[in-house]
Amino acid sequence: MALTMTQPARAAGLMVAAGLMFALVNTALQGATMMAGASSTTVTFWQYFVALVFFAPWIWRNRRAVLSTTQLGLHVLRVGLGAIGVQLWVLGLAHVPIWQAIALILLSPFFVTLGAGLVLRERVTRARWGAVIIGMVGGVIILEPWSDRFQLAALLPIGAAAFWAAASVVTKHLTREDGAATITIYLLLLLTPINFALAVGPGLALPQAAIWMVAVAGVLSAAAQFALARAYTLADAAFLQPFDHLKLPLNVALGLAVFGFAPTGSMWLGAGIIIAASVYLLQKESAQPQPG
């Protein structure tokens, strides 16, 4: 009995720890780009190169998994989509406050739902369409396109959410044949050369003030991914979802403390609508009969 009660608690703790580390990563990335003036493509390359070095021993131990795939093209497509999402995300952090970027990234599950219906031909019920529409309304409220504060750069986190969702749809297709180790290793191995190619133009040199920020972001990115993966091995996604939503207040708090970025009232209203719609969508997904 003690084991079954401690596992969810450990999973929740890991989820919160991952959210805090990702919030610190976003703060470091915003400091390196917006404040220190580093190129977003250069920052992205070094961030994920450091993460790759961190994971290198694990990749070596599981290297045989790379040879087990017959879906190399899909792996390349998935990583390419993910890389575009990463580039848009870091570029967004160079121009918009953390609170707005992280609130808009909450739209990702709705893009996944759209992709699953349009690409994987999964059945999208009226309830799912309703959740998607309500979530998008929340996104519009956060963006405030009618306000003088609106800037086109605010669309970058939405683009990141869309590309990450597309990568998730491809991942779902890959899992029909490949295991988690194969999928993860291809992501780590392919992401760095893609980011390198994109960073060659602006150059690989970082401003001195940004070096430590990017190094911290890389190490914490790797640690957060490990904590996230471990959490999902200990508890179901439905149980962990509310803890994942804590990333919003964590990012808001750090953005306010470090940069003085205070969110507007529309952010809380829009984010509340998005979270309510995503919880509703998750409940509907969980209620669907699973293939046996």
Burial 210-224 (b: 16+ CB within 10 A, else e): beebbbbbbbbbbbb
138-189 pLDDT tens trace = 889 988 888 777 888 889 999 999 998 888 888 878 878 887 778 878 888 8
What would the two tokens of residue 188 be? Answer: 């780590």
- Residue 123 pLDDT exceeds 80: no
- Residue 2 pLDDT exceeds 50: no
247-286 pLDDT tens trace = 889 999 999 999 888 888 888 898 899 888 888 777 766 6
- Residue 4 pLDDT exceeds 90: no
Contact 241, 14 (CB under 8 A): no
27-44 pLDDT tens trace = 999 999 999 999 999 999
Higher pLDDT, 228 or 25: 25
For CA atoms 201, 205, 210, 214, the dihedral sign is positive
Give the number of other Cβ atoms within 10 Å of residue 149's Cβ: 12
pTM above 0.85, yes or no: no
Q: Quote the pLDDT of residue 45.
A: 95
Contact 224, 18 (CB under 8 A): yes
Please report, as a single letter, which amino acid is at residue 191. Answer: L
Cα–Cα distance list, 290 to 69, 120, 151, 284 (Å): 25, 16, 42, 12
For residue 40, what is the DSSP state?
A: H
Domain positions in the chain are 9-287
Rounded mean pLDDT of the chain?
84
Q: Give the residue ranges of DSSP H helices in the chain.
A: 2-30, 40-61, 72-93, 98-105, 108-118, 126-143, 155-174, 180-199, 208-234, 237-244, 247-259, 265-287
State percent of the chain over pLDDT 90. 31
